[in-house]
Amino acid sequence: MPTIFHLDMDAFFVSVEQLFDPSLKGKAVVVGGRPEERGVVAAASYEARKFGVHSAMPLRTAAQLCPHAIFLEGHPERYREVSAQVYEILKEFSPKVEIASIDEAYLDMTGTERLHGPPLKAAHALHETIKRRTGLNCSIGVAASRLVAKVASDLAKPNGVLWVLPGAEARFLAPLEVRRIPGVGRATEQVLLRLGVRRVGDLARLDESLLERKLGKWGLALAGKARGLDAGGWYDAEIGSAEEPKSISHEHTFGKDTDEAEVLEATLARLTQMVARRLREHALYARTVTLKLRYADFCTITRSRTLEHGTRVDAVLLAEVRSLFKRNWNGKRVRLVGVSVSSLAPAPGQLGLLDEDQRRRWEQALAAVDRLRDKFGESSVSLAASLGSAFRERAHENPAGLPGKRGRRKPD
Amino acid sequence: MEFTIRKADLVRELSLSQGVVEKKTTIPILSNVLLEAEHDQLVLTSTDLELGIRCACPAEVKRPGSGTLPARRLLDYVRLLPEADIHFKFQENQWASLVCGRSRTRIAGMSRESFPELPAMPPAVAQIPAGVLTSLIQRTIFAISLEESRFTLNGALLQVRPDRIVMVATDGHRLSLSEKPMDLASVPAPFRGLVPKKAMNELVKLCETLEPEAPVDFSADENHMFFQAGDRLLISRKLTGSFPDYERVLPVEHPHSVILEREEFRSSIDRVAQFSDERSHAIRLQFMPGELRIWASLSDTGESEENLAVVYDGPKVEAGFNAQYLADFLRVVSEEKVYFGFRDSASAGELRPAGEDLDYSYRYVVMPMRI
């Protein structure tokens, strides 16, 4: 029987801010940006949540709900640093750690009883170690599957530990609303509601074939989840085996819509650099480059191009992004730009005859650049083209370089 | 203009211009063929502004003149006529009436005024046998890049030197270099120019209507190349830009090599490639003492392996290759044995026809894949 921990940091961004500025403690704090700004809430303190503020909510809405809240832009570099610290602690508890996002992780604790004692004791030890070494609260769910562990950590919040005994999964899940199952969003919820299903227990009693007819493969997976199984896709993977990403992207929403070509291009250059860096962290090569433009009227276009060779060189990707931009931008004001890469592979594929030396030199140079960035921060080295875009990285813009996500950086 | 022409003659010459006429053009006149009747001859001209072809055939000219007709429609219609003479008469309004036996047709044409003028051919600088041109093109054309952004690789580099004629093409992954030693001492200055792929295709079509020994006159001006065989003249604009310094990437030597039976090698690759990735065509080659192992596998589909006996006693070398690239070469080579030179999994491999007394040289350099 596996023992899985799901660890979730409590109000992570806010807690880190409070760590650096103790005067924020016990107050309604919202991280994400200024209240009059465009953008969304990245995190809210429990005091702010009482007023209905939650993450992914527009900042302006948050300001209406909780006008007295303290709005902060956030410090992505601090979050990364603390996240890395947490990761180090987790590794001391189990060799199989998978970082799910900047503030949550799964640990496979199977077979660690002799070292850490029974699950609940180990969970308390981990909980206390995190508090002692980082000063932060977290919640831990313990179960025989990822799914149940995740649901348990959610129910344990704030600052708690919850162990679901093996065999008790179905009984544990039954009274919960279906929305508690990760992956069930508004759409699935609507379908289920029409079937008269509101709680997980109702779902478990439903005929599997009916679920499959209504929701396809996802329906079958749901039937398994209702019983506490890790059914389907990523949930089936072993912890720490870190499934490869299918695409990597970065986006930026301008504080004010812009039609200045230099600003747009510089921003694209910066986003491209961030994407390329993540490619190298994952030891992957990309063949498809996609540009995303959202105009002031919310009309959004994406345009892609597939390259002959897989690459992870900033300059090569940027040349494509630029030419996509030049060919597709209609000159109007832009609200958001994004760069993403896909068709990812662990090897470059076909080698070039004419530019192989150049490619090798680029890769060596960029490896050196990445080492500098690891040491001195993301902005220590930039492509000249992106210098005009000193935009501050926003807390919700999926910060690059999550620790533990950089599985196997292999030299080329 | 009024003339009579044999159906077979017209179909043959019109067919040559079909490859030049653009199917989708924004300039309507370019879909038309220019017809000029004079001195018992009909001259047909078509162009897409990059490439032009002019041919001629005997005709009984009653009233000289000129006009243009839609090339595709004219050929499609004339093909369906019986083997007989066709009488053409052009009206003032650019319409032409065709009479052949009991068939009568009127086709709308366009004024010749807007038909582009083709450059005149300067005096020939070299005579190249049609068969030589065909071989040079067939050995290189498949290596031309289809990436429009790499426009200097969208054609082959043609070099006419006093002692030989050279054609080379590359798409940045592989390079095909074909040379034919010839006495071209009359060439006033060595010629070097980029021939677009479309022109190479049309030139092969033109050469294939000739005997291999038939001479093709070659000349060039600043922007164009001219190939003339009898009454047929092909004019191509040179591709601009500079071709990469290909000599730099030609391997000087290969530490290891094997001689392979072409057919055996080719059919092994074709079979194994059935189990390679559809997009990358990646297969693996492993050279071991006495043996060449070729294999590919697709996790959800299956795998395939072939072992060829070879004379080889070097170290074990394994490299990935695009099966399509290897097959491209093996398809155009006619010698029974081929040479395969290589170094390691990251360096270029080279294929050549193997033989004692080849009267030409052919090098095919292929970069491996990292799979």
Q: pLDDT tens per residue, chain A (412 residues)?
A: 889 999 999 989 999 999 899 999 889 999 988 888 778 888 899 899 999 998 888 898 999 999 999 999 888 888 888 988 999 899 889 888 888 888 899 999 988 888 888 889 999 999 999 999 999 999 999 998 888 999 999 999 889 999 999 888 888 988 998 888 887 888 888 888 888 888 888 888 888 888 888 887 778 788 888 887 775 544 555 555 555 678 898 999 888 899 999 999 999 999 999 999 888 888 889 999 999 999 999 899 999 998 877 888 888 899 999 999 999 999 999 999 999 999 888 888 888 888 777 777 887 888 788 877 777 766 666 666 565 555 555 544 444 344 444 333 334 3
Please indicate, yes or no, if residue B341 is contained in any of the structural domains.
Answer: yes
Q: Residue B189: what pLDDT? A: 83
- Look at residues B228, B247, B266 and tell me which one is the last residue of a structural domain: B247
Regarding whether B333 and B231 lie in a shared domain, the answer is no
Is the minimum CB–CB distance between A347 and chain B shorter than 8 Å? yes
Predicted interface score ipTM higher than 0.85? no
Mean pLDDT over residues B66-91, rounded?
A: 95
Regarding whether B238 and B255 lie in a shared domain, the answer is no
Q: Which residue has the higher pLDDT, B120 or A392?
A: B120
Range of the domain at B299: 251-366
Regarding whether B60 and B19 lie in a shared domain, the answer is yes
Task: Look up the CATH number of the domain holding residue B334.
Answer: 3.10.150.10
Is the minimum CB–CB distance between B147 and chain A shorter than 8 Å? yes
pTM, two decimals, is: 0.67
| A354–B147 CB contact, under 8 Å | no
DSSP category for residue B240? P
Q: Which residues of B touch A352 (CB under 8 A)?
A: 172-173, 367
Domain A6-109+128-143 sits in CATH 3.40.1170.60: yes
| B170–A354 CB contact, under 8 Å | yes
Is the minimum CB–CB distance between A348 and chain B shorter than 8 Å? yes
Is B204 strand, coil or helix? helix
Q: Residue A402: what pLDDT? A: 44
Is the minimum CB–CB distance between A346 and chain B shorter than 8 Å? no
Q: Which residues of B touch A305 (CB under 8 A)?
A: none
- Cβ atoms A172, A228 nearer than 8 A: yes
Q: Residue A208: what pLDDT? A: 80
- Order of strands across the sheet that contains B361-366: B191-196, B155-160, B164-170, B174-181, B361-366, B349-354, B337-342, B256-261
Q: Which residues of B touch A347 (CB under 8 A)?
A: 369-371
Regarding whether B235 and B188 lie in a shared domain, the answer is yes
| CB neighbourhood size of B150 (10 A) | 17
Please indicate, yes or no, if residue B121 is contained in any of the structural domains.
Answer: no
Q: Which residues of A touch B247 (CB under 8 A)?
A: none
Please indicate, yes or no, if residue B316 is contained in any of the structural domains.
Answer: yes
Nearest-by-CA chain B residue for A354? B172
Residue type, B268: S
Please indicate, yes or no, if residue B35 is contained in any of the structural domains.
Answer: yes
Regarding whether B130 and B36 lie in a shared domain, the answer is no
| A349–B348 CB contact, under 8 Å | no
Which residue from B174, B280, B369 is facing A353, i.e. has the nearest CB? Answer: B174
Write out pLDDT tens, residues B209-253. Answer: 899 999 999 999 999 999 999 899 999 999 998 999 999 989 999
Q: Residue A387: what pLDDT? A: 54
Active site residue A378: no
What is d(CA A219, CA A239) in angstroms, rounded to the nearest whole number? 24
Regarding whether B241 and B255 lie in a shared domain, the answer is no
- Look at residues B114, B136, B161 and tell me which one is the last residue of a structural domain: B114
- Look at residues B212, B247, B282 and tell me which one is the last residue of a structural domain: B247
- A171-236: what fold? DNA polymerase; domain 1 (1.10.150)
- Cβ atoms B219, B226 nearer than 8 A: yes
Q: Where are the alpha helices (DSSP H) in A160-310?
A: 169-173, 186-194, 200-205, 208-215, 217-226, 261-281
Please indicate, yes or no, if residue B73 is contained in any of the structural domains.
Answer: yes
Interface test with A, best of B152, B154, B173 (most A CBs within 10 A): B173
| A353–B322 CB contact, under 8 Å | no
Calculate the average pLDDT of chain B.
Answer: 93
Catalytic residue among A104, A169, A378, A397: A104
Q: Which residue has the higher pLDDT, B38 or A209?
A: B38
State how many domains chain B has.
Answer: 3
Q: Positive or negative, the Cα torsion across A356, A361, A365, A371?
A: positive
Please indicate, yes or no, if residue B120 is contained in any of the structural domains.
Answer: no
The candidate with the shortest Cα–Cα distance to B35, out of B24, B26, B63, is B63
Q: Which residues of A touch B322 (CB under 8 A)?
A: 350
Regarding whether B101 and B146 lie in a shared domain, the answer is no
| A353–B371 CB contact, under 8 Å | no
CA distance A270 to chain B (A): 24
CA distance A348 to chain B (A): 6
Write out pLDDT tens, residues B95-113. Answer: 999 999 999 999 999 999 9
DSSP category for residue B121? P
The pLDDT of residue B294 is above 80: yes
Where does A248-408 sit in CATH, by number?
3.30.1490.100
Residue type, B328: D
Regarding whether B213 and B135 lie in a shared domain, the answer is yes
